[in-house]
Amino acid sequence: MKIFLTGPDGLLGSNVARELISAGHSVKAFLLPGISAPTLEGLDLEKAEGDLLDENFNLARAMAGCDAVIHCAAITDLWADPKLTWKVNLEGTRRILDGSLAAKIKRLIFVGSASSYQPGTLEKPGNETGGFPAVYHGEAYMESKYQASELARKYVRERGLDAVIVTPTFMIGPYDSRPSGGEMVRQFLEKGMRVSTRGGRNFAYVRDVAGAMVNALDRGKTGESYILGGENLSYLEFFGRIAKIAGRKAPNILLPDPLVLLAGSASSLVQRITGKKMVFNRRIARYSLLSTFYSSAKAEKELGLKHSPIDLALEESIGALRKYGHLNLDQTGFFKDKAVLITGGSRGVGFATARELSLRGAKVVISARGAKRLLDSRDRLERMGAEVAAVAGDVGKWEDAEKMVNAALEKFGRLDILINNAGVSMRGNFSELAPEVIEQVSRTNLIGCLYPTRAAINHIIKNQGHIVFISSIAGLFGLPGASVYCATKKALTGLAESMRLELIPKGVHIGVVYLGFTEHDPEKRIIAADNQLVPPDRPAHHTQAFAADLIVGMLQKRTRQLIMTPIGTLGWLIYRLSPAMVEKAILWAQSSQWAVFKRFS
């Protein structure tokens, strides 16, 4: 079919256009005159220009030759001029309805809003049978979309128009160029909010919404309405998801309702006195306390609405914010266009560091042995707007180390930073260790730093760049049950000190990071004495994101060493004065206070 699509350059329209083309339909995109529409670049579609509000513009003629209309165009901004909102959302819809009849359009998909229906609770979410919520009376966007939906139903009943009404919830995802739903994501990331209100809403992945709308062309029932939603989340949960995805601190304070309303009232007062439009006012404060939860069961059954993880939508939203210039997390520009190679970059601290550097503008190569997890990690970074390459290989093999370095040169033309993060942990007394354990730990933790460093060294020197070795507090003083691990990590200190003397005159920064026991991924395993893989047995001293943030700071400051845990710093200082004292403390903790040893080792 040939589809006449209004609002094709918005968040929803841009995704609908792609879903239509993917499904084999041809698209005629109806745009305001002179608009640039960056989200439509590269798409195989026809463009037509016009203004919905221009009474002299013949919409029926513009629709000629089309089989169906999808009407996405609307003003969704709650801060827009109410008169313009009513004019576009209601009168613009009337013109689309009249044009569709005159052009003998076979089917119209009208995009309303889920806010037209009474929301519910998590246990009993709202659906298409609920009436218009009283709380939204007088709100231009919500009420105009409700009235436009009622108008579409009237045309179905009285004038025989074949129309289906879809009502999305709060949409997030790619191609958000203004931004729309991504504005909440942007504000959280840039302002680092640590507080939240008690409200919540239904968050939908815009690609899922667009797919259901395309399905509605064939499967939707004339005159029926369908809520197109996703996951019901409190705002505390929603911002927590963003924090986890982007490696930020999650909000941990729930503001009392009276305080939220008081802040909104104060903001509204300032707005009345100064005439300055305030983003947060009493009206928005009231809405932030609502829990607008909905069910999309009807659309799932009749339109095949999918429910992709909202985390996927958030990753692509971050990517869109960066692509269209709305998100900049590194005002200094220090990492912009720098090329970084991170070994062991598919998970843990390696992935967290790759994510943080890419969010700050660096171009990243990640390497790991496991190809599937590596590619999954690459895809996650790409969805967040990163320029990234992934190289599967073993850092303990010279040819693989060369391949990793060459990947950076081939894709980015340079290499500025090498972070030697790949490593394996072990547990077991030295007298019980299988030879295979000694070989694997030594090859990965030591040779696996030597080879990539040697392969990269001349390129790092050329750019006066950085080489960082990710060590452990086990590299500061020995720990029982980790002999070979300690040996390899201590060796990195000697390597760094020697290289630093060689490379300081050439402007190269050499740093060593002494991690404590870090938050681990669920699938992480360590090597036992018998060469079996077992789960980690120590509590976390810090999160992966915290470690990554400090590593990034180390690069900016060109710091020589970074000891991440207070107990590690204390132990290092005491060890320099009296190694025997540290040894006695460790033996005491291990023998008489095992819980203490596990907590701090």
In sequence order, the 6+-apart residues with CB closer than 8 A to the CB of 226 are 128, 164, 165, 166, 167, 212, 216, 220, 296, 298, 299, 302, 303, 305
Query: Is pLDDT of 599 > 70?
Result: no
The pLDDT assigned to 17 comes to 98
Neighbours of 553 (CB within 10 A): 11
The pLDDT assigned to 597 comes to 44
- The string of pLDDT tens digits covering residues 230-244 is 999 999 999 999 999
The DSSP 8-state label assigned to residue 446 in this structure reads I
> Could you tell me how far CA 14 lies from the centroid of its own chain?
19
The pLDDT assigned to 510 comes to 97
The pLDDT assigned to 336 comes to 93
Catalytic residue, candidates 205, 451, 485, 514: 485
Average pLDDT over residues 98-107: 97
- The string of pLDDT tens digits covering residues 380-437 is 999 999 999 999 999 999 999 999 999 999 999 999 999 999 999 988 999 999 999 9
- The string of pLDDT tens digits covering residues 194-212 is 899 999 999 999 999 999 9
Query: Is pLDDT of 540 > 80?
Result: no
Alpha-carbon separation of residue 479 from 310, 385, 424, 487, 537 (angstroms): 43, 41, 16, 10, 15
The pLDDT assigned to 538 comes to 67
To the nearest 10°, the Cα dihedral for 142, 145, 146, 149? -160
Alpha-carbon separation of residue 139 from 80, 132, 146 (angstroms): 11, 12, 11
Count of residues in the chain = 601
The pLDDT assigned to 434 comes to 95
- The string of pLDDT tens digits covering residues 336-348 is 999 999 999 999 9
Query: Is pLDDT of 139 > 70?
Result: yes
Query: Is pLDDT of 600 > 60?
Result: no
Task: Delimit the domains of the chain by residue range.
Answer: 2-319, 328-564, 567-601
- The string of pLDDT tens digits covering residues 424-475 is 998 899 999 999 999 999 999 999 999 999 999 999 999 999 999 999 988 8
The pLDDT assigned to 536 comes to 79
Query: Is pLDDT of 594 > 50?
Result: no
576 exposure class (CB count in 10 Å sphere: 0-12, 13-18, 19+) = exposed
The pLDDT assigned to 193 comes to 86
Neighbours of 373 (CB within 10 A): 17
To the nearest 10°, the Cα dihedral for 351, 352, 354, 357? 180
Residue type at 244 in one-letter notation: K
The pLDDT assigned to 601 comes to 45
Q: CATH topology of 2-319 equal to that of 328-564?
A: yes
The pLDDT assigned to 582 comes to 65
Tell me the three state secondary structure of residue 384: coil
Q: Of the CATH numbers 3.90.850.10, 3.40.50.300, 3.10.20.30, 3.40.50.720, which one belongs to the domain with range 2-319?
A: 3.40.50.720
**Rounded to an integer, what distance in angstroms lies between the CA atom of residue 168 and that of residue 213?**
10
Average pLDDT over residues 245-272: 92
Nearest to 482, CA basis, from 439, 437, 427: 427
The pLDDT assigned to 460 comes to 98
Of 556 and 193, more confident: 556
For the entire predicted model, the pTM comes to 0.91
Does residue 485 have an active-site annotation?
A: yes
User: What dotted CATH number matches 328-564?
Assistant: 3.40.50.720
**Rounded to an integer, what distance in angstroms lies between the CA atom of residue 476 and that of residue 580?**
14
Across 6-15, 152-161, 509-518, least confident range = 509-518
- The string of pLDDT tens digits covering residues 20-62 is 999 999 999 999 998 889 999 999 999 999 999 998 999 999 9
Query: Is pLDDT of 583 > 70?
Result: no
The pLDDT assigned to 143 comes to 97
Nearest to 184, CA basis, from 168, 196, 198: 196
The pLDDT assigned to 576 comes to 66
The pLDDT assigned to 596 comes to 45
Helix axis angle for 398-412 and 448-462, nearest 10°, is 30
